[in-house]
Amino acid sequence: MENDKLNEESTENNSGFIQMKRFHFVMLLFFVVFLAAGITTFALAFGDEKVVTVATERKEFDKLYSAFDTLKEGYYKELDQDKLVNGAINGMIEALEDPYSDYMNEEEAQKFRESISSSFEGIGAEITEQEGYITIVSPLKGSPAEKAGLKPNDKVISVDDKSLRGMSTTEAVMLIRGEKGTEVKLVIQRPGMDEPLNVTIVRDTIPIETVYGEMVDDKVAKVQITSFAETTSKELVTILNDLQKQGMEGLILDLRQNPGGLLNQAVNISSLFVPKGEILFQIEDREGNTEETKSENDNNVNFPLVVLIDKGSASASEILAAAVSESADVPLVGEKSYGKGTVQRAKDFTDGSNIKFTTEKWLTPKGNWIHEKGIDPDFKVSLPSYADLPIINPEDKLKLSTASTSVKTAQQMLEAIGYKPGRTDGFFDEKTEAAVKKFQKAEKLKATGVLTGQSTVTLMNKLREKIQSNDTQVDKALEVLKEQMK
């Protein structure tokens, strides 16, 4: 669920001579009508009058009113008018065929606001709708989703045995989120894999702490921005000041797995690194008119910078990456980014519901539209192949004489962390059993030779530690940065 959000006031305009029997429905549909044309003025007649006078007639809504009246008068059950109105709005949004536009009822809108302003309870993964499938954009750093091994472009087929096919991102979020400590079962289809993955994740509190910094050596720091929330730019400034006190002379800015967020935060952060007057990005409306947004910051940081991106870097993180690359000659290291080049704005209604809809394209400083194409890094570097291994369901029992893709994954994991399973073709033989027992003994687990439960969880945790300690992308960024610092 993309969080690019700029609220704008909408003008108002409406229509015609409406039969009094439709009055209440017209009022309910008031905010539906202004989506098609803003509302200007209207006048209501009271007393014995049988009509409501409302500016000029809008015949394109006759069929909508007629459909409502037909259902209201003839359907075999009593109807919920609010539910029908919500359905009408949803229908208009779905007709846009835009995965980044969405209607949220009051409860859904509240959860959307929580996701960019405070903490929430769930699994911690940014999702979007692509070609009818709910797809992972990126798991958040340290979240249950990341720990469970979810990856960008994973398709979520079902949640707790309920299919998500055809659902909006908002509907999917309502199913995936839940109270801390509760379990949610996902079926995941990963690109390149024939069999779906069954993943059980324990929900947790997901704090919106979006910036993490550390010194890599005596002179170089690495700062990771995990998303762009309301306080991200302030968090970044605080951490950079602290790192400078620790001796930072060069910075690796890590935007990997960053799904985006608030546009104003991307502007604030880009302005830290792009000289005043240089273009950060351009906005293009449906008429093709463009408007440039430029850096207005007088006090840019004055140390060398390298930025890390990957296929989970999307939207606002791509705006930042493109801005520093094209307007400040900052090198990009890693993999091609996600490719989300549109801007969404949100409109809140008086009842607390909300629509989020695409209003413009955004272009890079040089006028490139990266939508569905992504940004190519200057230095293309992949993580080791074992970093893309799928998760294993801890409920499965992998043991002697079994054969499956899960066994193959386990063998590859064992191989990656230094144990020798003898083969990696998916057949669990005596050598694989011996490797599992050796691993279990080293980790002080019961040496059964069966990979299940805590043994599986520990194996995946050890692999994650291996990935973190052998981060080829950070290594390359450090190499590029050291050249700049000479």
What integer pLDDT is reported at residue 7 of this predicted model?
34
What integer pLDDT is reported at residue 115 of this predicted model?
58
Beta strands (DSSP E) in 349-384 are 354-363, 379-380
Percent with pLDDT over 90 in the chain: 62
Domain 119-205 belongs to what architecture? Roll (2.30)
Neighbours of 71 (CB within 10 A): 11
**Per-residue pLDDT tens digits for 179-230:** 899 999 999 998 888 888 889 999 998 877 789 999 999 999 999 998 898 8
Most distant CA atoms of the chain, gap in Å: 91
Q: Which of 115, 138, 233, 315 is catalytic?
A: 315
Q: Give the residues of the chain that fall short of pLDDT 50.
A: 1-55, 118
Q: Measure the N-to-C terminal CA separation of the chain; round to a whole number of Å.
A: 42
Is domain 211-380 classified as CATH 3.90.226.10?
Answer: yes
Smallest Cα–Cα separation from 293: which of 280, 304, 303, 284? 280
2 in catalytic set: no
270 in catalytic set: no
| 386-409 CB burial, b ≥16 within 10 A, e <16 | bbebbbbbbebebbeebeeebbbb
Q: Which of 326, 335, 360, 433 is catalytic?
A: 326
What integer pLDDT is reported at residue 361 of this predicted model?
97
What integer pLDDT is reported at residue 116 of this predicted model?
55
The amino acid that residue 38 corresponds to is G
Tokens for 254?
């890590």
pTM of full prediction above 0.75: no
Smallest Cα–Cα separation from 248: which of 213, 218, 291, 275? 218
**Contacting residues for 351 by C-beta, under 8 A, at least 6 apart:** 106
What integer pLDDT is reported at residue 114 of this predicted model?
65
Could you give the residue range(s) of every CATH 1.10.101.10 domain in the chain? 387-469
What integer pLDDT is reported at residue 11 of this predicted model?
30
Could you give the residue range(s) of every CATH 2.30.42.10 domain in the chain? 119-205
- Alpha-carbon distance values, 327 to 236, 364, 419 (Å): 20, 9, 47
Could you give the residue range(s) of every CATH 3.90.226.10 domain in the chain? 211-380
CATH number of 387-469: 1.10.101.10
219 in catalytic set: no
What integer pLDDT is reported at residue 56 of this predicted model?
53
What integer pLDDT is reported at residue 243 of this predicted model?
97
Q: Which of 147, 151, 340, 408 is catalytic?
A: 340
What integer pLDDT is reported at residue 15 of this predicted model?
35
